[in-house]
Amino acid sequence: MIPVEISSIKKAYGNIKAVDGVSFSVEEGEIFALLGPNGAGKTTLIEIMEGLRKRDEGAVKVLGLDPWENGYELHRKIGVISQDFIFFDKANPREAVKYYADLFGVSVDPDDILREVLLEDSAGVLFENLSGGQKRKMGFALSLVNSPELLFLDEPTTGLDPNARRAIWDVIRGLRSKGKTVILTTHYLDEAQQLSDRVAIMNHGRIVAMGTSDEIIEAHGSGERLEIHGTEELAAYVRANTNLKVEYNGKGVISVALKEKIDALAALAAVEQSGLDWGEIQTRRDSLDDVFVKLVSGTIDEHGEIRAEQSSYDAANQRRR
Amino acid sequence: MVSAKRTLSDFRVFGRGYLRNWVGLFFGLIFPVILILLFGAIFSGNSSGTILVYAQNQDDGPMSAQFLNALNSTGVLNVQSVSVSDNFTKFLADHSSPDGIIIPANFTLDYATLKSVNITVYGNPSQSTSGIVSGTVNGVANYFNLQRFNGTAIIGLIQTTVNTKQTKYVDFLIPGLIGFSILVNPMFSLVNISSEYKKTKLFKQLSLTPLTKMEWLASKVIWYIFLSTVSFLLMAAVGIFVWGAHITLTAWLIPFLVLGPTLFASMGMLVGTLTKNPDTASVIGNVISFPMMFLSGTFFPMYLYPEYLRMFAHVLPLFYITDGLNAVMVYANYSQALIDIAVVAVITVVLFVAAAKLFKWRED
């Protein structure tokens, strides 16, 4: 059975289209990341899959069930950590796991589960006294109580310090090694790249790119290019004396698109012929970062907001238009 | 389907959390006891039935002294002498006392010579104490008149009260404050919890477990029944052992201790559910609770209220609880208690069902 299958999902809040026709499916054992800035519709989409929110249109099957209609049945089989996980202030992680085990009617050793999420040292600390990272780990622990095959993690590391983020990543990698299917949302590119098998980039309620990192770069990146440090004059010379597509970024970097590797030789020959000064040379491909910036028209800061600042790639593209 | 096991495990986590919260515990258990101690202390002077009354005896004969002794020995008045050199009106004003008596200078002589003599009684007609003072003085004066002519009273009085024992203020206070704590704890807690859990999305979190809304609400209700019962026992114990209250503890109290917290927990739940945020919820909660607190016979017996407020009290659910508790604990009037139980039961069922139906784990 395909764990998650959704097609043409739409959800609007008043005039705002939070999710605007999203379709994909997630395979068993896969870690699938929804990547995008705040307000892209990630949380709405993941909550529709979890059965916490009703969709306006489209079809959703999660573990063969309609999440909204059969939420009660579905929730016994999935694990969920919501973006703002919260628990009773006056309960500690060990009691919380015991509580969830009672609710799910399963028998577990709370300490085993807390060890799995690297929280055994704080098993007796009241929730109100846990750090942000520890609270998130407790959320993980609770989502594992019913041994779910499918987990939904909504921004599992947002707002955590780098150490806590790495610890959570280790927990997620642990889930992968156990063959669990995981759907996570994030606005951290490195998180999506580090953890997931496939990434869907979301913006304005739509998926603008989907696949493995390589597939996305292949489909939306600009391909391989040669970058030469030099002046605008040198760029003009190379453009005039070769058949190659040459860009100048205004900051001393000339970019030559390479259809074939041999094109690099022609470009360098022209550079040498020009008699002008030139510096460092390198070939490079677009990274997922570059593609992301291109697709969402900006970079994302640590809070998930888009920064209007444009990359050299984008600036060059705009001039070309 | 409601699972007892899940309800119980939610009860355990919630109760443990409650007991770890000193503020909640204070308001849940200690505060009502403090109220009983406080109100009991304030009114204990009156509770034996004596009213403080100042008397200026301008007469120096034996009859006036006998007259004042007779007033004191009625057990109704506590007569305190004021020196003849004092300006009596000013003295009363300085002592914030409305009630006073002046015995004129030639009282003994006039009494002996059968000459008409008047005792001046100061009072404030709007205060119940003043009526008692003038009535008592009048009664004693009549007695002295009769005696002067060697007469005996034809019509006598046998004094008794409605119930077999003498009721004191604290006897009314305890059922009232038990009603108060039955209202306050579940109501305010559930207003707060339901609006906070909605805001922090803890309800959403819980909706991802097999716990149902009904089980969650039931566990809260059971907790507040438990808490109200403990609080009831503490308050009754303090009332009986500290203030010597005459209250009856019978199985008739159980329906009130079960239905009351259920009613107000459901009401609090409804307020939290139907309002947008915790601030609004708390305001609405106060608007509903405060009039109920003061107009349902909590701090004073209902017969002291003006007619229109007594009518209004009949729309307040707490009235039926306080009334029923009084009927059971003070008057042993079980047919009235039965009516109160019936009314409370109907309101409870309606509110509980509405709360369970209207409150949502998740949003659309």
Write the CB contacts of A22 (distance below 8 Å, at least 6 apart in sequence): A6, A8, A9, A41, A45, A58, A202, A205, A206, A207
Specify the DSSP class assigned to residue B159. -
A298 domain residue, yes or no: no
CB within 8 Å of chain B, chain A residues 97-116? 98-100, 102-105
- Percentage with pLDDT > 70 across chain B: 94
**A58, A178: one domain:** yes
Least confident span in A35-49, B117-131, B311-325: B117-131
Using CB atoms, which residue from A84, A104, A105 is nearest to B201? A84
Predicted local confidence at residue B364, as pLDDT = 61
The domain in which residue A278 lies consists of 224-284
Predicted local confidence at residue A313, as pLDDT = 43
**A213, A123: one domain:** yes
Predicted local confidence at residue B143, as pLDDT = 85
List the A281-284 sheet strands across, edge first.
A246-248, A253-257, A225-229, A281-284
Which residue ranges make up each domain of chain B?
A: 4-44+168-358, 49-148
Q: What is the CATH number of the domain that holds A273?
A: 3.30.70.3400
Predicted local confidence at residue A116, as pLDDT = 86
The tally of CA atoms less than 13 A away on the side-chain side of residue A140 is 29
Among A43-57, A153-167, B88-102, B300-314, name the most confident range. A43-57
Task: Kindly determine whether residue A103 and residue B364, on different chains, have CB atoms separated by under 8 Å.
Answer: no
Residue A319: is its pLDDT beyond 60? Answer: no
Show residues of chain A in contact with B209, CB under 8 Å: 75, 100, 103-104
- What φ, ψ does residue A210 adopt, rounded to 5°? -150, 140
Task: Kindly determine whether residue B17 and residue A88, on different chains, have CB atoms separated by under 8 Å.
Answer: yes
Among A171-175, B215-219, B357-361, name the most confident range. B215-219
Task: Kindly determine whether residue A99 and residue B208, on different chains, have CB atoms separated by under 8 Å.
Answer: no
Q: What is the mean pLDDT of chain B?
A: 87
A50 domain residue, yes or no: yes
**A116, A255: one domain:** no
Predicted local confidence at residue A217, as pLDDT = 86
Least confident span in A162-176, A206-220, A291-305, B342-356: A291-305
Pick the residue from chain B with its C-alpha nearest to A97.
Answer: B13
Q: Are A143 and A104 in contact (CB under 8 A)?
A: no
A294 domain residue, yes or no: no
Over residues A9-31, the pLDDT tens digits come to 999 999 999 999 999 999 999 99
Distance CA B11, CA B218 (A): 9
Residue A315: is its pLDDT beyond 80? Answer: no
- How far, in whole angstroms, is CA A219 from its chain's centroid? 17
**A122, A181: one domain:** yes
Q: What is the DSSP string of A197-245?
A: SEEEEEETTEEEEEE-HHHHHHHHS---EEEEE--HHHHHHHHHHSSS-
Predicted local confidence at residue A320, as pLDDT = 41
Q: Measured between alpha carbons, how far is residue A242 from residues A245, A246, A260 in Å?
A: 9, 9, 14
Count of other CB atoms within 10 angstroms of residue A253:
18
A177 domain residue, yes or no: yes
Q: What is the CATH number of the domain that holds A100?
A: 3.40.50.300
Comparing B132 with B317, which gets the higher pLDDT? B317
Distance CA A18, CA A40 (A): 7
**A193, A262: one domain:** no
Predicted local confidence at residue B156, as pLDDT = 65
Mean pLDDT of B43-69: 81
Among A87-96, A156-165, B191-200, B284-293, name the most confident range. A87-96
Fold topology of B49-148? abc type-2 transporter like fold (3.40.1710)
Q: For residue B170, name the pLDDT band (cuts at 50, 70, 90).
A: confident
Complex ipTM, two decimals? 0.78
Q: For residue B173, name the pLDDT band (cuts at 50, 70, 90).
A: confident
The tally of CA atoms less than 13 A away on the side-chain side of residue B65 is 3
Comparing B185 with B303, which gets the higher pLDDT? B185
Residue A275: is its pLDDT beyond 80? Answer: yes
Predicted local confidence at residue A33, as pLDDT = 95
Residue A36: is its pLDDT beyond 50? Answer: yes
Helix (H, G, I), strand (E, B) or coil at B130: helix
Q: Which long-range contacts (CB under 8 A, 24 or more apart) does B62-66 make?
A: B62/B108, B63/B107, B63/B108, B63/B111, B63/B112, B63/B144, B64/B103, B64/B107, B64/B108
Q: Which of A103, A104, A135, A144 to mutate to test the interface with B (most CBs of B within 10 A)?
A: A103
Q: Does A319 touch chain B (CB under 8 A)?
A: no
Mean pLDDT of A198-202: 94
Predicted local confidence at residue B151, as pLDDT = 73
Task: Kindly determine whether residue A105 and residue B17, on different chains, have CB atoms separated by under 8 Å.
Answer: no
Task: Kindly determine whether residue B205 and residue A54, on different chains, have CB atoms separated by under 8 Å.
Answer: no
**A105, A235: one domain:** no
**A13, A143: one domain:** yes
Specify the DSSP class assigned to residue A65. B
**A191, A246: one domain:** no
Show residues of chain B in contact with A86, CB under 8 Å: 200-202, 205
Q: Are B29 and B227 in contact (CB under 8 A)?
A: yes
Mean pLDDT of A107-123: 92
**A154, A236: one domain:** no
A77 domain residue, yes or no: yes
A46 domain residue, yes or no: yes
Q: Measured between alpha carbons, how far is residue A63 from residues A70, A200, B334 in Å?
A: 11, 20, 59
- Please tell me the total count of domains within chain A: 2
**A53, A186: one domain:** yes
**A186, A201: one domain:** yes
Task: Kindly determine whether residue B209 and residue A103, on different chains, have CB atoms separated by under 8 Å.
Answer: yes
Predicted local confidence at residue B159, as pLDDT = 57
Chain A: give the shortest CA distance to residue B30, in Å: 20
Over residues B98-139, the pLDDT tens digits come to 889 999 999 999 988 888 889 999 888 777 778 888 888 888
Looking at A196, A218, A240, the residue that finishes a domain is A218
Count of other CB atoms within 10 angstroms of residue A106:
12
Q: Does A13 touch chain B (CB under 8 A)?
A: no
Comparing B52 with A90, which gets the higher pLDDT? A90
Comparing B140 with B11, which gets the higher pLDDT? B11
**A91, A122: one domain:** yes
Looking at A169, A189, A218, the residue that finishes a domain is A218
Distance CA B335, CA B234 (A): 27
Helix (H, G, I), strand (E, B) or coil at A275: coil
